[in-house]
Amino acid sequence: MTALVAGAESRAAVFAGLALAALVFNPAGDAAAKPLTVADLLAGSPAADWRMPDPEDTLYMDLARGRVVIELASRVAPQHAANIRALARAHYFDGLAIVRVQDNYVVQWGDPDHHRAVPAGVRAGVEFTAAAGAAARFEPLPDRDAYAPQVGFLDGFPAARDPRSHVVWLAHCYGMVGAGRDDPPESDGTEMYAVIGHAPRQLDRNVALVGRVLQGMELLSSLPRGSGEMGFYVPSEATVPIRSVRIAADVPKAERTPVEVLRTNSATFRAVVDQRRQRNEPWFKFSPDHIDLCNVPLPVRAIPAAGL
């Protein structure tokens, strides 16, 4: 069986979220110049290059088909993160459903009719850009971007910055999770969406992004598309029930899904990005010499139970 698209040379085991096999030339420069795959880079990375998301910032959305693990961007959108924690702790989402799946756009879940009582303490707000202090944590990517003057990473999430105003915001890449809203622009976290298509960057600074899917993305992206307007499921279509949404910290340890995320300020991450920017492997006949923010892999790996 041949791979045929991008990377037939390498058959290293697929890494979570990094399925494209890819090669770089060995920086050690040994005689054989053995090319390193991204999987090799990750396998050889020091433990310190990885972080485990705070269980207080980790959301488990359990569906019949499996668990979706989401990391909340709690320092970027603290009010929404607090709201979502309060909603999960009040079991607000349990028994609600995924109500919208629009091809090449978003999956959306929650309570679109606002029938459920919102727990005390949940306050609607506007967090289109990052809370104060984010500019100092922003890690720029050298690559150009056409939607923002500068792009990079903030707390491990894809982000953008205006160097004049020092304003920083998260970017609508594949797998990012936001708080849906109507107009006026306040949102409270009772409606959430995940991006399942080409990055709708026009939404940046127009809606609050609150995190990203770390694991289980395919459980959302492979859902049947809704045939209603804007991908909403119509009454003749089964919505997808949400069994529960929990904060990982509230889940017994034996029932957690431990994952680690590669630190975006690590040497391993820089090597991964450079490999993906240059594509030096033989399959590529033309080096892109560029990487789009939303094509940068943000590696996640499962932690074996024995490793806890």
**Counting Cβ atoms within 10 Å, is residue 296 exposed (0-12), middle (13-18) or buried (19+)?**
buried
Among 66, 121, 133, 288, binds its own copies (CB under 8 A): 288
- Joined together, the tokens standing for residue 186 give 């306040």
Among 125, 152, 156, 178, binds its own copies (CB under 8 A): 178
Least gap, CB of 89 to its own copies (angstroms): 23
Measure the CA–CA gap between 292 and 17, rounded to whole angstroms.
Answer: 16
Among 40, 143, 188, 260, binds its own copies (CB under 8 A): 143
- Joined together, the tokens standing for residue 13 give 């085991």
Residue 212's region, left for phi above 0, alpha for psi from -120 to 50, else beta, is: beta
Say which residues have a Cβ less than 8 Å from residue 241's Cβ, sequence separation at least 6.
63, 64, 95, 96, 97
Measure the CA–CA gap between 87 and 299, rounded to whole angstroms.
Answer: 28
Site membership for its own copies, residue 21 (CB under 8 A) = yes
Least gap, CB of 30 to its own copies (angstroms): 23
Among 73, 87, 130, 207, binds its own copies (CB under 8 A): 207
Site membership for its own copies, residue 276 (CB under 8 A) = yes
For residues 205, 137, 135, 277, the Cα torsion angle rounded to the nearest 10 degrees is -60
Report DSSP state, residue 4: -
Site membership for its own copies, residue 14 (CB under 8 A) = yes
Nearer to its own copies by Cβ, of 20 and 214: the residue is: 20
Q: What are phi and psi of 215, to 5 degrees?
A: -150, 145
Least gap, CB of 171 to its own copies (angstroms): 11
Among 92, 292, 299, 300, binds its own copies (CB under 8 A): 292
Nearer to its own copies by Cβ, of 123 and 225: the residue is: 225
Nearer to its own copies by Cβ, of 49 and 199: the residue is: 199
Among 53, 152, 200, 258, binds its own copies (CB under 8 A): 200
Among 229, 235, 254, 304, binds its own copies (CB under 8 A): 229
Query: How many DSSP H helices and E strands does the chain contain?
Result: 4, 17
